[in-house]
Amino acid sequence: MNDHPLAYDDTEFMESQEARPIRILAEYLDPLRRFKAHNIQDTVVFFGSARVLSRHLAQRNLSRLQKTTGRSQSDYKAALKRSRKALEWSRYYEDARTLARQLTTWSMALEAQRHRFVVCSGGGPGIMEAANRGAKEAGGKSVGLNIALPFEQAPNRYITKDLVFNFHYFFMRKFWFAYLAKALVIFPGGFGTIDEMFEILTLAQTRKLSKKLLVILYGSEYWNDVFRLEPLAEWGAINDEDLNLLCRVDSVGDAFDQLQRHLMKHHMVPQTAQETKAPGIAKTRG
């Protein structure tokens, strides 16, 4: 046994505060290596709640609940309300799954040297699982950028095996969300979804992205209740044209049409200098 291991074999050192820059660099270089190995040029990112269930699972849970006995009437009514809402919400899971499948089928048919517009998610359950699942059903690759949390978020089983990434640093995970993305599809979600969306919108508004990025907000029924951006422009906090950074849709067909039109116009015909480079070489401003 070697009592004096090499520095990079020394677990105590590699997990120390002093080795933090090495760990950060590893979360850049490992994804870069694997994206190159899989010949992936760019992505379309799906964001949304981890709590959304598939229609099958939501219906099964509701059926089981309706057969249970022994609960107080008030508890039963509250649980029944939540379960019915889960079934209603499951349409977003199915829509994300269908959209990812359609996008992957279309992108695989493109004449390109590298894999284009690969579905990418946060790697967990809910909308993330639906996106990876749809891509797998189409026979294509998909990416999962998972994050290590105190209450562990396990990667879903539909991500391409060698494209499951587990990040410790949120900012490195966010870097990879933005770096290869040519479009985002934002399904109903909570704080995490909104955080990711506004970070990307800020980068686009301040022109820190060197590419044309489409941001689709899916599900007006949900998002119109959650927030309105028009007062930001009315008060002068943002410009009127900043409102156009978001494209609102309510159906898979409309979302796919918007994606296809944007990707063909801005990222296929003609190819930009950025898009002819290998993943990880494309430049961002600054």
Structural domain boundaries of the chain?
25-54+92-222+229-267
Q: ∠ at Cα 107 (250, 155), nearest 5°? A: 75
Q: What is the pLDDT of residue 278?
A: 47
Task: Reply yes or no on whether the pLDDT at 274 is more than 50.
Answer: no
Is residue 211 over pLDDT 90?
no
User: Phi and psi at residue 40, in whole multiples of 5°?
Assistant: -95, 125
Q: Is 271's pLDDT higher than 70?
A: no
For 194, the 3-state DSSP assignment is: helix
Say how many residues make up the chain.
286
pLDDT tens sequence across 141-163: 999 999 877 665 789 999 999 99
The residue type of 6 is L
Q: Render pLDDT for 237-270 as a digit per residue (tens, 0 to 9).
A: 999 988 888 999 999 999 999 999 999 999 986 5
Task: Give how far Cα 54 sits from Cα of 72, 90, 254, Å.
Answer: 28, 5, 21
Question: What amino acid is encoded at 169 in this protein?
Answer: Y
Per the structure block, which two tokens stand in for 64? 């089981």
pLDDT at 74: 77
pLDDT of residue 2: 61
Percent of the chain with pLDDT over 90: 68
pLDDT at residue 106, rounded to an integer: 97
At 275, the pLDDT band (50, 70, 90 cuts) reads very low
Single out the residue of 204, 131, 122 nearest to residue 165, CA to CA.
122
Radius of gyration of the chain (CA): 21
Q: Among the listed ranges 47-61, 170-184, 185-199, 201-215, which one has the minimum average pLDDT value?
A: 201-215
Position with higher pLDDT, 36 vs 269:
36
Is the CB of residue 214 less than 8 Å from the CB of residue 183? yes
With 50 as the cut, is the pLDDT of residue 14 above it? yes
Q: What is the mean pLDDT of residues 98-105?
A: 98
Residues contacting 224, CB < 8 A, separation 6+:
none
* CATH class (in words) of the domain with range 25-54+92-222+229-267: alpha beta
